[in-house]
């Protein structure tokens, strides 16, 4: 059992609250990403899990043990940073071996662990090189290997790919996920790149202002965001205010909005008559004659290859619509429909 449990975690720096009353469970072998805008508290939360910061409130349990005040070196965790923090005067092999020597791991065990990681990360051709003789991607693999040889139960990543170019980032993220699964590691991964979070994670914790706004699978976050912040942060979404005018009991809800009356379908009845709703640009159907038919004027178009992104104006506001029809031009009037189940009800308005 190597799960993580956080209860009412809090981190205050003087009067400033960086993490407020955060509770969560991460299962053994689960890959969880902390995702959110700059300053939302991701790194602070990661540092509390690793032991580099002591929370000002709450508790952290690793593998069932309360480690809230345990120093980093006494926790079964390893940390992998964006700046690789390799020792510049040591070779790749010496860098990989460093932690094992420090922990006085016996020679035979040391060799077995090193061989496994070197093979897995394809580092055998680089063992005698110094870090400055490696590419960024190779350095990142050494940093990852150095964490993995310690066989931690929990591995923590702080934006490990942000120094790599886009292509390499894709490659290394696939490697990280494969290794995490092969070794059965519990992983917490910090990023502000939503594509990375959605592609790699079992679950994503979306953070905002020191809180976790929603903790869910990537698919759930995308299809059923709970707040307008999450709807807007994950992909793009059209968010608008709505008033519930009738709920017929079989899941269909009639709404009054700035775009006119709309019908939504939901399993969860709204808690309030005033709500926010959202719909995704790709759910606007420009060919069907379905429900929720809307008319708008195209104010901007951007051809994206397999689709065209349209900014459209209706009732004094701007919305985003995607279409596979590249012939639509700025100034055109478009009509589209929205399936009731693709209109998502968000949190009640204050």
Chain residues that interact with ligand ATP, rule: CB under 6 A: 13, 16, 18, 36, 38-44, 192
Q: How far is the CB of 38 from ligand ATP (least distance, A)?
A: 3
Name the residue nearer to ligand ATP (CB basis): 83 or 124. 83
Give the Cβ contact number of residue 87 at 10 Å.
12
Q: How far is the CB of 138 from ligand ATP (least distance, A)?
A: 25
Name the residue nearer to ligand ATP (CB basis): 45 or 294. 45
CA dihedral sign, ordered 242, 247, 253, 259: negative
Tally of CA atoms within 13 A in the half-sphere of 191 that contains its CB: 25
CA dihedral sign, ordered 27, 97, 67, 210: negative
Q: How far is the CB of 48 from ligand ATP (least distance, A)?
A: 10
Name the residue nearer to ligand ATP (CB basis): 20 or 276. 20
Q: How far is the CB of 31 from ligand ATP (least distance, A)?
A: 18
Give which of 177, 140, 138, 137 is closest to 155, Cα–Cα. 177
Q: How far is the CB of 6 from ligand ATP (least distance, A)?
A: 15
CA dihedral sign, ordered 187, 192, 198, 203: positive
Name the residue nearer to ligand ATP (CB basis): 54 or 245. 54
Name the residue nearer to ligand ATP (CB basis): 44 or 153. 44
Give which of 280, 254, 271 is closest to 342, Cα–Cα. 280
Collapsing DSSP states into helix, strand and coil, what is residue 214?
A: strand
CA R_g for the chain: 24
């Amino acid at each position: 059992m190597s799960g993580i449990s956080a209860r009412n975690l809090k981190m205050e720096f003087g009067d400033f609250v960086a993490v407020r009353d955060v509770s969560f469970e991460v299962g053994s072998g689960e890959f969880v990403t902390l995702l959110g805008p700059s300053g939302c508290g991701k790194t602070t939360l990661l540092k509390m899990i690793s032991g580099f910061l002591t929370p000002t409130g709450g508790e952290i349990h690793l593998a069932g043990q309360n480690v809230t005040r345990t120093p980093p070196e006494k926790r079964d965790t390893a940390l992998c940073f964006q700046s690789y923090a390799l020792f510049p005067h040591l070779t790749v092999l010496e860098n990989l071996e460093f932690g094992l020597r420090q922990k006085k791991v016996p020679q035979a065990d040391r060799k077995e662990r090193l061989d496994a990681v070197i093979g897995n990360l394809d580092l055998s051709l680089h063992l005698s090189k110094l870090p400055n003789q490696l590419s960024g991607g190779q350095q990142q693999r050494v940093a990852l290997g150095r964490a993995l040889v310690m066989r931690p139960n929990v591995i923590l990543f702080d934006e490990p790919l942000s120094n790599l170019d886009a292509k390499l980032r894709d490659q290394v993220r696939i490697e990280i996920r494969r290794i995490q699964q092969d070794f059965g590691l519990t992983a917490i991964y910090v990023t502000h790149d939503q594509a990375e979070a959605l592609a790699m994670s079992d679950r994503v914790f979306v953070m905002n202002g020191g809180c976790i706004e929603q903790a869910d699978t990537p698919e759930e976050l995308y299809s059923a965001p709970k707040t307008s912040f999450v709807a807007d942060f994950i992909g793009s979404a059209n968010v608008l205010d709505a008033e519930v005018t009738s709920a017929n009991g079989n899941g269909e809800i009639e709404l009054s909005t700035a775009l006119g009356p709309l019908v939504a379908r939901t399993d969860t009845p709204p808690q309030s008559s005033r709500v926010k709703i959202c719909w995704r640009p790709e759910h606007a159907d420009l060919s069907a004659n379905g429900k929720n038919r809307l008319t708008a004027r195209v104010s901007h178009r951007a051809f994206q290859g397999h689709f065209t992104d349209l900014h459209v104006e209706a009732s004094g506001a701007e919305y985003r619509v995607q279409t596979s029809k590249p012939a639509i031009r700025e100034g055109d009037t478009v009509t589209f429909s929205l399936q009731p189940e693709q209109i998502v009800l968000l949190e009640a308005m204050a």
